[in-house]
A and B are shown apart, each in its own frame.
Chain A
Amino acid sequence: MENNNNGKATASLVLGIVSIVFIFFNVYAFIGLILAIIGLIIGIQAQKESPENGMAKAGVVLSIIGLVLCAISFIACAICIGAFSSLRYFY
């Protein structure tokens, strides 16, 4: 159980770090977004199973940072619902 928990914590930490790297890839930041989401869910699970696990805590924090930064980076050309009007821009 402890090993399993450590595995989850490590996975969360790694995913959190990798997701942060993706903030520099503009539109491809969505890959970082997906990694951060997975890292966050696994990290929360590990943290809930053993609240004292520092690695899980770090994984959760890094995944949150990755999620936030990738979200900002991904929606950089943000246009709410009228995004299709931006097609004119690309034509």
Chain B
Amino acid sequence: MLPTIEVLGREISLYGLMGVIGIFFGVIAAIYRRKIYNINKEDVIFSSCYAGIGLLIGAKLLFIITIIPDLIKHKDLLLANPKLLLHILSGGLVFYGGLIGAFLGFYIYSKQYKIDFLDILDLIAPSIPLIHGFGRIGCFTAGCCYGIEYDGLFHVIFQRSQAAPNGVALLPVQLISSGINFLGCIPFFIYARKKRKPGKIIGIYLIFYSIARFTIEFFRGDVARGIFFGVSTSQWISLVLIPIGLWLYFNKFAPDQE
């Protein structure tokens, strides 16, 4: 669609920009909600920085894991041209890797500065679909994470995408994913207006997103999806996250604070 825009003579990726806009609104929402959990503003910002670092590292690491077979296949070409490797590595981010990395960032911060880990996760949980919704719009602008071939109502045809097949009618799965995230975050913010049992809010998010992602994956058309036993990497992670979400939701060990 529109992979880059020009700002002061420099090409800026809309994909990265949308991600940053999403994180900005997500952190603002968390700052606004921080009084529910009695967490101060600095801790929200600093823990979000840790999470941001974890997000970048995690999203990149999972991306590298999914392309290992391709890296091995093209190793001669990549060894002959290391800059190409850098270009490829600059391109990929996988949401689930980012999510796990962000959780690890929050965990490290909460341990380092003695803040309740589940409280931070519950605080940030409604912001995650908000951030992700913006991120998926970024995917749509870059043409990545594209859908299966489809020429029905609301199909989309990319013209100058480096990722999606140009000139082919595709299902706009990025926008569907974005819509699900934006719509999902509304009842989520309403539900999270008061303090719930620790882990309950993040548990609901993990269940909601894992089911949505598992289903959406069937409508994805991009090739490098890390398929193992007919199921993609993200679907495997969804299958792992659903029981974790249920465990957090029904966390009987936490004191009832509703």
A11 CB, nearest partner CB in chain B, Å = 16
Partner of A71, one of B16, B164, B222: B16
Judging by beta carbons under 8 Å apart, are B17 and A72 in contact?
yes
Could you say which residues of chain A place their CB within 8 Å of the CB of B138? Answer: 78
Can you name the residue of chain B whose Cβ is closest to the Cβ of A64? B49
Could you say which residues of chain A place their CB within 8 Å of the CB of B11? Answer: 76
B157 CB, nearest partner CB in chain A, Å = 17
Judging by beta carbons under 8 Å apart, are B113 and A75 in contact?
no
Number of interface residues of B (CB under 8 A): 50
> Which of B31-39, B142-150, B199-207, B238-246 participates in binding chain A?
B142-150
Judging by beta carbons under 8 Å apart, are B56 and A78 in contact?
no
Can you name the residue of chain B whose Cβ is closest to the Cβ of A28? B86
Judging by beta carbons under 8 Å apart, are B87 and A27 in contact?
yes
Complex Cα gap A68–B23 (Å): 10
- State the total of A-B contacts with C-beta under 8 angstroms: 136
| Interface membership of A4, Cβ < 8 A | no
Partner of A79, one of B19, B83, B92: B92
- With A40-B53, A83-B91 given, is the CB distance from A72 to B13 under 8 Å? yes
Number of interface residues of A (CB under 8 A): 33
Judging by beta carbons under 8 Å apart, are A30 and B84 in contact?
no
> Which of B66-74, B123-131, B179-187, B188-196 participates in binding chain A?
B66-74
Complex Cα gap A51–B52 (Å): 22
| Interface membership of B4, Cβ < 8 A | yes
Could you say which residues of chain A place their CB within 8 Å of the CB of B83? Answer: 27
Interface of A is mostly: helix
Complex Cα gap A40–B162 (Å): 33
Interface of B is mostly: helix
Can you name the residue of chain A whose Cβ is closest to the Cβ of B12? A72
A75 CB, nearest partner CB in chain B, Å = 4
A57-78 contacts to B, CB under 8 A, are: 60, 64, 67-68, 71-78
Judging by beta carbons under 8 Å apart, are B16 and A37 in contact?
no
Judging by beta carbons under 8 Å apart, are B16 and A78 in contact?
yes
- With A82-B144, A82-B146 given, is the CB distance from A72 to B92 under 8 Å? no
| Interface membership of B99, Cβ < 8 A | no
Partner of B63, one of A37, A44, A76, A83: A83
Judging by beta carbons under 8 Å apart, are B113 and A48 in contact?
yes
Q: Mark B1-20, 1 if CB is under 8 A from A, else 0.
A: 00110000001110111011
| Interface membership of A86, Cβ < 8 A | yes
- 23 example contacts (A-B, Cβ-Cβ < 8 A) are as follows A27-B86, A27-B90, A37-B53, A40-B53, A72-B17, A74-B90, A76-B11, A77-B13, A78-B144, A79-B142, A80-B94, A80-B222, A81-B92, A81-B145, A82-B163, A82-B224, A83-B63, A83-B67, A85-B162, A87-B74, A87-B84, A87-B88, A89-B162
